[in-house]
Amino acid sequence: MVKIPRTPAREQAPRLRAANFDEVCLGYSPDEAMREATRCIQCKNPRCIGACPVGLGIPQFIHAVREGTFAEAARIIALDSSLPSVCGRVCPQETQCEGDCILGVKGEPVSIGKLERFVGDWAADNLSATTAPKAAPNGRRVAVVGSGPAGLACAADLAKLGYGVKIFEALHRPGGVLEYGIPEFRLPKERVVRREIEAVRRLGVEIEANVVIGRTITIDGLLSAEGFSAVFVGSGAGLPKFMGIPGENLNGVFSANEFLTRANLMRAYDSAYDTPIRAGRRVAVVGGGNVAMDAARTALRLGAEVSIVYRRSEAELPARREEVHHAREEGVDFRLLTNPVAVLGSADGWVSGLRCLRMALGEPDADGRRSPVEVPGSEHDLPIDVLIMALGTSPNPLIAATTPGLEANRRGCLVATPDGATSRPAVFAGGDAVTGAATVILAMGAGRTAAAAIHASLTA
Ligand SMILES: Cc1cc2nc3c(=O)[nH]c(=O)nc-3n(C[C@H](O)[C@H](O)[C@H](O)COP(=O)(O)OP(=O)(O)OC[C@H]3O[C@@H](n4cnc5c(N)ncnc54)[C@H](O)[C@@H]3O)c2cc1C
Q: What's the CA-to-centroid distance between 177 and ligand 1, angstroms? A: 4
Distance from residue 90's CA to the centre of ligand 1 (Å): 13
What is the distance between the alpha carbons of residues 37 and 62, in angstroms, rounded to a whole number? Answer: 6
Measure the CA–CA gap between 151 and 169, rounded to whole angstroms. 10
pLDDT given at position 131: 52
Q: Does domain 242-391 have CATH number 3.50.50.60?
A: yes
Identify the pLDDT of residue 402.
97
Q: Are strands 305-309 and 164-168 parallel, antiparallel or unpaired?
A: unpaired
The angle at the Cα of 33, spanning 31 to 34, to the nearest 5 degrees, equals 65
> Residues near 44 by Cβ (< 8 Å), separated by ≥ 6?
none
**pLDDT computed for residue 199 by the predictor:** 87
Using a 6 Å cutoff on CB, does residue 413 contact ligand 1? no
Listed residue (310, 278, 311, 283) closest to 295, CA to CA: 283
Q: Angle formed by the axes of helices 256-264 and 290-301, to 10°? A: 50
CB of 449 sitting under 6 A from ligand 1:
no
For ligand 1, whether the C-beta of 432 sits within 6 Å is: yes
Q: Is 96 in the pocket of ligand 1 (CB under 6 A)?
A: no
Kindly give the pairing relationship between strand 338-345 and strand 370-374: unpaired
- State in Å: Cα 237 to ligand 1 middle: 7
Our mutation pick for probing the ligand 1 site, out of 82, 182, 326, counting the most ligand atoms within 8 A of Cβ, is 182
Looking at residue 97, what is its pLDDT? 95
User: Do the domains at 10-126 and 242-391 have one common CATH topology?
Assistant: no
Other CB atoms within 10 Å distance of the CB of residue 362: 11
User: How far is the C-alpha of 335 from the C-alpha of 312, rounded, in Å?
Assistant: 10
Question: In the chain, what are the domain boundaries?
Answer: 10-126, 141-238+394-459, 242-391
CA of 179 to the centre of ligand 1 (A): 9
> Ligand 1: which of 427, 440, 442, 444 to mutate, most ligand atoms within 8 Å of CB?
440
Distance of CA 366 to the CA centre of its chain: 26
Q: Determine if ligand 1 sits within 6 Å of the CB of residue 396.
A: yes
CA 198 remoteness from chain centre: 19
From CA 226, how far away is CA 370, in angstroms rounded? 52
Q: What is the pLDDT along the chain (460 residues), one digit of tens a residue?
A: 557 899 999 999 999 999 999 999 999 999 999 999 999 999 999 999 999 988 999 999 999 999 999 999 999 998 888 889 999 999 999 999 999 999 999 899 999 999 999 999 999 899 876 556 678 889 999 999 999 999 999 999 999 999 999 999 999 999 999 999 999 999 999 989 998 899 899 999 999 999 999 999 999 999 999 999 999 999 999 999 999 999 999 999 999 999 999 988 777 777 777 776 777 899 999 999 999 999 999 999 999 999 999 999 998 899 988 899 999 999 999 999 999 999 999 999 999 999 999 999 988 877 777 888 999 999 999 999 999 999 999 999 999 999 999 999 999 999 999 999 999 999 999 999 999 999 999 999 999 999 999 999 999 8
Query: Distance, CA 148 to ligand 1 centroid (Å)?
Result: 5
Q: Which atom of ligand 1 is nearest to the CA of 212?
A: 42
**What is the architecture of the domain spanning 141-238+394-459?**
3-Layer(bba) Sandwich (3.50)
pTM of the shown model: 0.92
The CATH H-level superfamily of 10-126 is Alpha-helical ferredoxin (1.10.1060.10)
